[in-house]
Amino acid sequence: MTVNKISTITYAHELEQRYAAASRRDEFYVKEDVIYFDGNSLGLLSKRAETSLLSVLESWKTHGIDGWMQGERPWFNLSEELGASMAPLIGAEAEEVIVTGSTTSNLHQLLATFFKPAEGRTKILADELNFPTDIYAIQSQLQLHGLDPADHLIQVKSRDGQTLQTEDMIEAMTDDVAVVILSGVLYRSGQVLDMEKVTEAAHARGILVGFDLCHSIGAIPHALDDWNVDYAFWCNYKHLNGGPGATGGIYVNKKHFGTQPGLAGWFGSAKDRQFDMEHTFTPAAGAGALQMGTPNLLSAAPLIGSLELMNEVGMEAIRERSLALTAYLQELIETDLADYEFTVTSPREDAERGGHVFVVHKEAARICKALKANGVIPDFRTPNGIRLAPVALYNTFEEVLETVNILKRIMEEEQYKQFENKREVVA
C-alpha cells in the first residue's frame, strides 16, 4: 500500500524544522504522554508564568500591603504595565490597553460606556454564531435601557451555520444601528473576520464598532489602530496562556479618551487622585478609566511571564507556525480520514483561518471521549463539533500526525461506540 507523503513522520519532522522559529515547547509544562489540543480554551502553564505568579506571592509575603508600591514589580500600576506589554499584540498604543475584569464584565463596561441609544439609533448588531456570553450581555444592556432585545438586537445570519459573509454584516448595518459587536475569530469554525473592512463600513454609516478578541489575541496579528476600531475586549487564558480565570483586557481607541465610563469605579481614577478619596470621580486619561474595582493580582500575575514570552517570539513568527500546523491538520483529516464522514468547516484560506480547526461529525461527543481515552485533549462543541487547536508555542507537527492516526484507529476499531454521544457537564 502506498503511503501518502504527508502522512509520514519524516514529512512531519521536515515541517517541524521549517517552522521551528516560534516553537518554545521547553518553556511549557507539557505532559509527554498527552497531546494537548485545547489551548484555544485554556492554554498550558509556562515556566515564566509560574515564576511571575510566585514572584507576586513572594511580594505579598514579604511586603504585605506595601506591595502596592514596593518590591520588584509594585502592584499599583501593574494593570497599566501589562496593558503596555499587550498592546503590540493588537496593534495599539500602550495607554489604549488595560488589563482588567473579564470578557463579560468588560463587554458590559464598554456597552455601558458607548451604547447611547438615541432617536433613530437604538439597535445593536451582533451575529448568530457569537459566543453566548456576548449575547447575554447585549440583551442585558438593551433591557437596562428599556429596550426589548427581540426588537433591538440584530443578529447577522450565517449562510452555512459555520461562517459569516462580510457583505451580510455590512448589509445588516441599517440606519437604526448604534453599535456593532462581532468576534475577531469565530469561536466555533475559527473564521477570521475582516475587521478592517467591517470597521470601515460601519464608520461610513455612523456606527461604532467593537470586537471580541477572545479567540484571536495571541493567535493572529491585529492592527486595531490602523483599522480605526473603536474598542475591543478579550480574555487572556486561551492563546495568551494566562491561566484559568486570568484577568481580561480592554482596548479603547485614543480618539475616545475622555469618554465618561458607563460603570465608574475607584481603580478607574487618575492615579495621582485615586487616594484623595473625593466623591467626585476623576477618570484616568486612557483606557485605564474603564477599570472598576481593585485588580485581581493573582489572576493577572501569570500574564507578566506569558506576555514576556509572547513578545519575545513575536506575533509574525507565531502566526506563521500556527497556520502551518492548522493547514497540516486540515490536509491530514481530509486525506487520511476521508472514509469516516469528517467535515472540516474551518476556512482553508490562511487569511481567513484562526488558531484552531473545527471538525464536524455526527458522533462528535463520543469521538472526543475516545480521543481523551487515547491521550488526546480536544474540545467538544454542541451539537456535533470537535475543535482541535495545535498551538504554535508548544504543539508539534508530529503531534498533529499522531492525532490523526489516533482518530483513524478510533474510527477503524469503532472505539467511540464505548461512549455515550452526549457532552460532559464541562465541554
Q: How confident is the model over 73-130, as pLDDT tens digits?
A: 999 999 999 999 999 999 999 999 999 999 999 999 999 999 999 989 999 999 999 9
Judge whether residue 185 has pLDDT over 80.
yes
The full set of domain ranges for the chain reads: 5-30+315-417, 50-313
Of the residues 36, 233, 237, 251, only one is catalytic, namely 237
Of the residues 38, 127, 212, 379, only one is catalytic, namely 212
Nearest Cα residue to 105 out of 136, 145, 79:
136
The x, y and z cell numbers of residue 228, run together, are 480605526
Whole-model pTM: value is: 0.97
HEC letters along 235-287: CCCCCCCCCCCCCCEEEECHHHCCCCCCCCCHHHECCCCHHHCCCCCCECCCH
Q: Is 26 a catalytic residue?
A: no
Q: Is 187 a catalytic residue?
A: no
At 287, the amino acid letter reads A
Task: Give the confidence band of 19 by pLDDT, cuts at 50, 70, 90.
Answer: very high
Residue 10 annotated as part of some ligand binding site:
no
Of the residues 123, 328, 387, 397, only one is catalytic, namely 387
Q: Is 238 a catalytic residue?
A: yes
Residue 103 annotated as part of some ligand binding site:
yes
Looking at residue 54, its pLDDT comes to 98
Q: What confidence tens digit (pLDDT) does each residue in 227-254 have?
A: 999 999 999 999 999 999 999 999 999 9
Q: Is 212 a catalytic residue?
A: yes
Q: What confidence tens digit (pLDDT) does each residue in 317-356 have?
A: 999 999 999 999 999 999 999 999 999 999 999 999 999 9
Average pLDDT score over the chain: 97
Judge whether residue 3 has pLDDT over 80.
no
Judge whether residue 6 has pLDDT over 80.
yes
Q: What confidence tens digit (pLDDT) does each residue in 360-400 have?
A: 999 999 999 999 999 999 999 999 999 999 999 999 999 99
Task: Give the confidence band of 2 by pLDDT, cuts at 50, 70, 90.
Answer: low
At 372, the amino acid letter reads K
Pick the CATH number of 50-313 from 3.40.640.10, 2.40.50.140, 3.90.330.10, 3.30.470.20: 3.40.640.10
Residue 38 annotated as part of some ligand binding site:
no
CA distances from 187 to 128, 175, 176, 214, 389 (A): 12, 28, 27, 8, 11
Residue 131 annotated as part of some ligand binding site:
yes
HEC letters along 177-224: EEEEEEECECCCCCEECCHHHHHHHHHHCCCEEEEECCCCCCCCCCCH
Task: Give the confidence band of 149 by pLDDT, cuts at 50, 70, 90.
Answer: very high
Of the residues 131, 136, 340, 419, only one is catalytic, namely 131
* Over residues 8-17, mean pLDDT: 98
Q: Is 114 a catalytic residue?
A: no
* Over residues 301-312, mean pLDDT: 98
Residue 419 annotated as part of some ligand binding site:
no
Residue 259 annotated as part of some ligand binding site:
no
Residue 104 annotated as part of some ligand binding site:
yes
Question: Which secondary structure element, helix H or strand E, spans residue 36, and what is its range?
Answer: strand 35-36
Looking at residue 387, its pLDDT comes to 98
Residue 237 annotated as part of some ligand binding site:
yes
Dihedral sign for Cα atoms in the order 78, 83, 89, 95: negative
Looking at residue 153, its pLDDT comes to 98
Of the residues 238, 353, 369, 381, only one is catalytic, namely 238
Nearest Cα residue to 372 out of 15, 21, 35, 98:
35
CA atoms within 13 A on the CB side of 140: 14
At 297, the amino acid letter reads L
| Burial letters 63-100, b for 16+ CB under 10 A, else e | eeeebbeebeeebbbbbbbbbbbbbbbbbbbbbbbbbb
Task: Give the confidence band of 1 by pLDDT, cuts at 50, 70, 90.
Answer: low
Lookup result for grid cell 489604549: 96
CATH architecture of residue range(s) 5-30+315-417 = Alpha-Beta Complex (3.90)
Judge whether residue 284 has pLDDT over 60.
yes
Residue 227 annotated as part of some ligand binding site:
no
